[in-house]
Structure 1
Amino acid sequence: MDKTVVDTYDEKFEAEASVGAHLGEEEDSPIEEVRVTVSNTDDPSMPCNTFRMWSLGLLFTAAVSFVNQFFYLRQTQISIGYSVVALISLPIGHLMARVLPTRQMNILGWKFSLNPGPFSLKEHILIGTMVSCNTSTAYAVDIVILQHVYYGDKQPFIAGLLLVLTTQITGFALAGAIRRFLVRPAHMVWPGTLVTASLFRSLHAHAQSEEEDAGRMSRMKYFMIVTTGSFIYYWLPGLLFPTIGMISWICWIAPNNIVLSQLTGSNGLGIGTIALDWAAASYYVNPLVTPWFAQVNIIIGFILVTYIMVPWAYYTNLWNSKNYPILSASLFREDGTLYNKTLILTDNVLDEAKYLAYGPIRMDSFFALTYGVGFAGLMATVVHVILYHGTEMVARWKSARAENEDIHSRLMRVYPEVPDWWYLILFGITVALSLVTCIVWDFMPWWAVLLALVIAMFFVLPVGIVQAVTNQQPGLNIVTEYVIGYLLPGHAIANVTFKTYGYIVNVQALTFVSDLKLGHYMKIPPRVMFMAQLTSTFISGLINLSTAMWLVNTRPNICTPKGYPFTCRNTNTFYSASIIWGAIGPARVFGSKDGALYSKVQWGFVVGALLPIPFWYAAKKFPNIPWLKYVHWPVLLAATSNMPPALPYFYSNGLFIGFIFAFLLRRYRYNWWARYNYLTSAALDSGVAVCGLVIFFAIQSWDGTAPTWIGNPADSVFDHCPLGGSAYNKIPAAA
């Protein structure tokens, strides 16, 4: 860190930090998971705002932004994440510390050294944070691709760039307003950041005391062993033996029985399906990170929807469900054939006469019910946060700094805070640019921009509290599509633009807050974190859009089967959403217009608002019944929000692993759990990510394939359950 920043300490805070830096176990976080993962000491002299940090951070930001956007449009997608960058940047950082000159540089009065000493933990975390801000490609890029490829409405590059940057950065500005509620309080844990903290502490662990490591493997050694094992093993489910990733053994009893296949196949409800694949088993649930009480809520919600509601709806033929698969994200006609969206559009706008002649869209009962559950989950989030956290939110609003803080908050008081006016000016600039962008290039009306931002701001705190406590994030994509679908029916681009401003601004705000919490745990100066996040977000947005436009303009038949491998699976789903919610509109899907069948799912809004109330009251009335306070309706109702495209066996396998690690090992092998649990999650993720890259670049990118055998069948039915994705009333003739 720059010495001029260090010299600005208030003397009172400096003395307090000096004492705090030498604390042992006598003062620590009140949260157990934090105590066993995050150090309760700090070294303010550790360098972080360095040439090495900026050069490596910008280099990896540019590289990851290009690679992730490039593969986002391919049939076989791959994403370089936090753990991979952490592993690759570490030896490069150490190499720079050895070879760079140590002399002082002077550029326009800014004095700094290219090499201020050993490569530090804080430099490494900032490099990872610059990349993690932008691991997911910019959501608004899909809008630009839609206009160019699907709707033939080619806008200038600057229009797309402003759309991307405003949707990405407005959330960053919003994060500043909520950081005092979601970062400083000790009980806002953000479990996902503990995995990252554990990873970096292990990578920078040097010689540890004999007392700490007596009879136990060092964290670094353990991490490298598990990462190597994960890398070696992933060659099996990832390439050579994919069948072990989805063992639908119950279906093997009678693979031609349609009911058994639908219930037990991996493309159906996946009852009993075993996934010996960490990438599948850790999907969404994140079983080693998500607290056990949250996983119990997920289990209940998952069973209620997937194993009770869906079979009842499907086999009673609700909404003619038997004409469609039991689990599918596709749209159908009433007879079960796929819905041809091009036959209802004229000049990319809904033609009502064609729509009435062709018929309304249909979906399977699982898809329809999950929309209803999603409506309920959103309302439950708002009501739950008001009931359980309302008093605390008001208190923190009145006197955020007057309350008692844990050791991490006190240690962070050493560093100058980012002034609120920095965030306020940034928010004003991005909102003004958002209005200009949407009005000048006709993305949507000005009032829609403001309404979308109001929705994002209204939900950011309740959704953030849920994520900070449970590691689960209820999404706003449904409600934003729903609102603008009623206000502007028939306008597909306006619908997806409104969704992006309402949904992604919220997501981005919480992504930045999560990074701020990591910086809080690892004692990163807030102003350095601010500049690193803002700079990397700007660069990654520019590279995301440039990469996408380069591919769109140079690859023939892109986003079609003829354009393989650039088939744009996610973008095609985005396009379908623009048709459902934009061109057709929710009134014709969930309302009562033109033969819509699914109006009853809108009762989810009412049900979700009412469900938390009796349990909150019961927990107050009967405080001696401990399980009542762990009933968390937002998590319970959000359990199935990612299905489809997620598959049920992802959940069942992840929750089983969670039972072992989050419950059994924590209760009966606490010392092991405290030392290695979060590190295990990071190591498994790292091994899979590195192996996935090697498999793709070394084999699949050269059109290489694994040998065909029973563990890798030529028909790609890896679960050996061919009817799992079939419709009950349309069983293939061979069956």
Structure 2
Amino acid sequence: MDKEEVLNEKYDEKLDRQDVEGQLELNEEDDSPIEEVRVTVPNTDDPLMPCNTFRMWFLGLLFTAIISFVNQFFYLRQTQISIGYSVVALISLPIGHLMARILPTRQFSLFGTSFSLNPGPFSIKEHVLIGTMTACNTGTAYAVDIVILQKLFYNDEKPFIAGLLLVLTTQITGFALAGALRKFLIRPAHMIWPSTLVTASLFRSLHHSVEREDDVGRMTRMKYFLIVTFGSFVWYWFPGFMFPTLGMIAWICWINPNNLILAQLTGTNGLGIGAIALDWSAASYYVSPLVTPWFAQVNILIGFILVTYIMVPWAYYTDLWGSKKYPILSAGLYKDDGTAYNKSLILTDGIMDPQKYIDYGPMRMDSFFALTYGVGFAGLTATVVHVVLYNGREMLDRWKSARTQNEDIHSRLMRVYPEVPNWWYLSLFILSLGLSFVTCVVWGYMPWWAVLLAMGIAIFFVLPVGVVQAVTNQQPGLNIVTEYVIGYMLPGHAITNVTFKTYGYIVNVQALTFTADLKLGHYMKIPPRIMFMAQVVSTFIAGVINLSTATWLINTRPNICTKEGYPFTCRSTKTFYSASIIWGAVAPDRVFGNKDGALYSPVQWGFLVGALLPIPFWIASKKFPHITWLKYVHWPVLLAATSNMPPALPYFYTNGLFLGFVFMFLLRRYRYSWWSRYNYLTSAAMDSGVAICGLIIFFAIQSWEGEFPYWWGNPEDQDYDHCMLANANYYGEIH
């Protein structure tokens, strides 16, 4: 046994002994009151464990650069892929151990500070920080799409520095807001942030080498994780490459694929009734079935059935708004006769020409698309009202109380680490806000007052949306309301609309993304100041790389973002472009108002309906406290259930909710011992296997134009569910 192995063994024994002894000394009050947290997060800490090390910064920045480039590169391709947390965690672990083995241990001095390149065994805290630096940036910077839109779709290219400031201000301003949320969304024990429990379970499994007494005779978490990851990796070759039909088995449609109504109701591109997805990436796309609490999944199920299986068929088959001229489920824009809407014919220099719009004719959409907008309006106001009614008193109490009151063991353990001063967050916010004014005013993205209004919307909604996400793992989006507001205030200006949306929506999203990472740091006992620096530095680097990668591609790839530019067809960017037309160029007054042939004004009643729905259920829960199910009615989650459709498809939900029933209800209730040990680990392992397999498929095969031979399970026309009529309108026409 060499020196490194001896050090690792002693370190593990120390942690295990501390953990066991700590458990013996603790009483019930010294553990989290939340069951999911108790079974996932240890209630002990070693403040001397190294985390702010050369290894952490080197690997964290390296993977930040790699992930930012790869994810932006694939974002513009027809088939997208995003490398996530779990892949980085797996790859960085052996590299970290290797660096602990080979780096010199002698002390260095820099600016009066003494440090070592190798302070000992590679620690779990270093590993979590590496993962956090990359997790901040696994999604590409939203504002990059504005840069692409301006050059390729509106022929209005701005200087690189303008795009860079746009990207950085929208990404970092949200982080500044996260500091104000700590008291409300991180320290309270019941703000659990379910997705962080999966991550915590993953890192514990990768670093837990000494078994406790109650683990004897059971498969270790690490072994289980590797087995499930390998199984997921092997299986994904079938739905992901060789046999795509396995991912969308529309078996009811196969009974009679030439029956139009049967295809629309059961095809995977229709309502997907009965469709089976033997593909983890589809089943876990939105619901996150092994992470989202069961009560939240029940709310999602009710909202899904209400909209998808009741409202949509009624609207479509009664021909509401002329729905029968369009497919039953589509994000496309159409003319009144059902043909595709040519958006370029209503624009002059990127701004909508009212006369051209009148001459060409009004824009139409299918009833499903229109109804989901209305439900989205309702979900937004329901979020505010629900949080005020159910969480308002608690938030007010926390505002008044000292920060050390009513804290669980994890908050008390974090007291040993100096907190990030509020002036750090305030200075960052002021700097970001100032640069936002410069960016938007100097380069004409939008007026200065629009910057303030967008920031105001983001700040107003960040706490209520954060409460919903922290408890249910679902995040109501602000994209609709931001587009709606600026669309009425500055109609006809497409770039202004998407810029306003980016500041109002993404600042809110980034604030909650950073807050979730801070909660993970809270669970894993990461010093807050180190977490702050890691997040800010990695976000800055990722923004530069995202924009540089996109700029390089649009300058070097011929016909990019067109069919001729395959595989760089920019599928998501085109959706972003369509939104700029709907909400910016045409504007909501001509879509949801009463101007120039608008039809969809009734969906605006969603704002009022959403605000009213939580009230009677809250009153009933107070008046009848013995009726337990009343307190689990969560209207923001119920109404946001279909907010991701399209592009999400109904069969994603049904398959995900079935898995949720198995894991979060049946196994938790009847096989609790297994569930508490392996449930969250299963989710992380399945994600890891799919991600690794996807990387190999794309880099080793498809990037070289390799394809699996065509056959029934992999048809050349990409009709994988063999139910083509699901894409047709009521009259059997496919435009």
**TM surpasses 0.5:** yes
Report what 2:233 is aligned to: 231
Following TM superposition, by how much is the alpha carbon of 1:207 offset from its aligned partner in structure 2, in angstroms? Answer: 2.1
Q: In 1, are the aligned partners of 2:727 and 2:734 still within 8 Å (CA)?
A: no
1:457 equivalent in structure 2: 459
Closer/same/farther in 2, CA of residues 689 and 375 from structure 1, 3 Å limit: same
Of 478, 481, 492 in structure 2, the residue corresponding to residue 479 of structure 1 is 481
Aligned CA distance change for structure 1 residues 272 and 256 (closer, same or farther; 3 Å): same
The separation in 2 between residues aligned to 1:612 and 1:174, in whole angstroms, is 27
% identical aligned pairs: 78
**Structure 1 counterpart of 2:570, from 554, 568, 571:** 568
1:291 alignment counterpart:
293
Inter-partner Cα distance in structure 2 for 1:535 and 1:398: 33
Alignment of 1:128-207 (within 5 A): 128-207=131-210
CA distance in 1, matches of 2:623, 2:21: 43
Pick one of 94, 119, 122 that aligns with 2:122.
119
Q: Work out the CA distance in 1 between the residues paired with 2:478 and 2:672.
A: 37
1:708 shift after superposition: 1.4
Moved more, 707-716 or 476-485: 707-716
Cα distance in 2, alignment partners of residues 704 and 160 from structure 1: 35
Q: Distance in 2 between matches of 1:37 and 1:18?
A: 15
Q: CA deviation at 1:351?
A: 1.0
Q: Distance in 2 between the 1:24 and 1:206 partners?
A: 23
**Distance in 2 (alpha carbons) for counterparts of 1:23 and 1:449:** 53
> 2:410 — aligned with what?
408
Which 5+ residue runs of structure 2 have no aligned equivalent? Answer: 1-18
CA distance in 2, matches of 1:534, 1:605: 36
Residue 215 of structure 1 deviates from its aligned partner by 2.1
Q: CA deviation at 1:85?
A: 0.3
State the Cα deviation string for residues 522-547 of structure 1 (Å, max 9, x = none).
Answer: 00000000000000000000000111
Structure 2 residue identity aligned to 1:723 = L
SS at structure 2 position matched to 1:413: helix
Specify the alignment match of 2:12 in structure 1. none
Matches within 5 A, 1:195-594: 195-209=198-212, 211-594=213-596
Q: 1:110 aligns with which of 100, 108, 113?
A: 113
Using a 3 Å threshold, how does the CA distance of structure 1 residues 732 and 644 change in structure 2: closer, same or farther?
closer
Contact in 1 for aligned 2:85/2:134 (Cα 8 Å):
yes
CA distance in 1, matches of 2:524, 2:374: 40
* Alignment of structure 1 residues 16-31 onto 2, 5 Å: 23-24=25-26, 26=28, 27-31=30-34
Alpha-carbon distance in structure 2 between the residues aligned to 1:630 and 1:473: 17
Residue 332 of structure 1 aligns to a residue whose secondary structure is: coil
Measure, in 2, the Cα distance between the counterparts of 1:142 and 1:554: 17
Separation of aligned partners in 2, 1:110 and 1:339:
64
- Give how far 1:19 is off: 10
Check conservation: 1:23, 1:40, Cα contact below 8 A: no
**Rounded Cα–Cα distance in structure 2 between residues aligned with 1:392 and 1:404:** 11
Aligned position for 2:721? 719
Question: Are the counterparts in 2 of residues 38 and 197 from structure 1 also a CA contact under 8 Å?
Answer: yes
What CA RMSD, in Å, does the superposition of the two structures yield over aligned residues? 1.4
Any runs of at least 4 consecutive aligned residues in structure 1 with deviations exceeding 3 A, and if so which? 17-26, 730-733
How big is each residue's C-alpha offset from its partner over 1:426-448, in whole Å with a ceiling of 9 and x where there is no partner?
Answer: 10110011011101001000000
**Cα gap change, 1:139 to 1:45, in 2 (>3 Å):** same
* Paired amino acid for 2:62: L
Match of 2:77 among 42, 66, 74: 74
- CA distance in 1: counterparts of 2:202 and 2:646, whole angstroms: 31
Say which SS state the counterpart of residue 418 (structure 1) adopts. Answer: coil
> Structure 1 residues 18, 425: CA separation in 2 closer, same or farther (over 3 Å shift)?
farther
Counterpart Cα distance in 1 of 2:618 and 2:26: 38
Displacement after TM superposition at 1:553 (Å) = 1.1
Question: Aligned AA for 1:51?
Answer: F
Query: Using the alignment, how far apart are the partners of 2:660 and 2:44 within structure 1?
Result: 30
Shift of 1:730: 3.8
Deviations 1:86-143 (A, max 9, x none): 0000000000000000001112222210000000000000000000001000000111
| CA gap 1:156/1:246 in 2 versus in 1, 3 angstroms | same
- Work out the CA distance in 1 between the residues paired with 2:23 and 2:433: 41
Instruction: Sort the Cα spacing of 1:155 and 1:296 in 2 relative to 1 into closer, same or farther, 3 A.
Output: same
Instruction: Give the CA deviation at 1:22.
Output: 7.2
TM-score of the pair, normalised by structure 1:
0.96
The answer to whether the Cα contact below 8 Å between 1:176 and 1:420 also exists between their aligned partners in 2 is yes
1:86 alignment partner, one of 65, 84, 89:
89
Q: Provide the residue aligned with 1:627 in structure 2.
A: 629
CA distance in 1, matches of 2:719, 2:631: 44
The 3-state SS of whatever aligns with 1:724 is: helix
Structure 1: where are the runs of 5+ without partners? Answer: 1-16
Residue 20 (structure 1) shift: 6.7
Q: How far off is 1:729 after superposition?
A: 2.1
Deviation at 1:21, TM superposition (A): 8.4
Give the partner amino acid of 1:84: V
Secondary structure of 2:568's counterpart equals coil
> 1:470 corresponds to which letter in structure 2?
T
For 2:238, give the aligned amino acid: L
Q: Which amino acid aligns with 1:129?
A: T
Contact 2:143 2:167 survives alignment (8 Å): yes
Q: For 1:229 and 1:661, how far apart are their aligned partners in 2?
A: 18
Aligned residue for 1:5? none
Q: Which moved more, 1:435-444 or 1:105-114?
A: 105-114
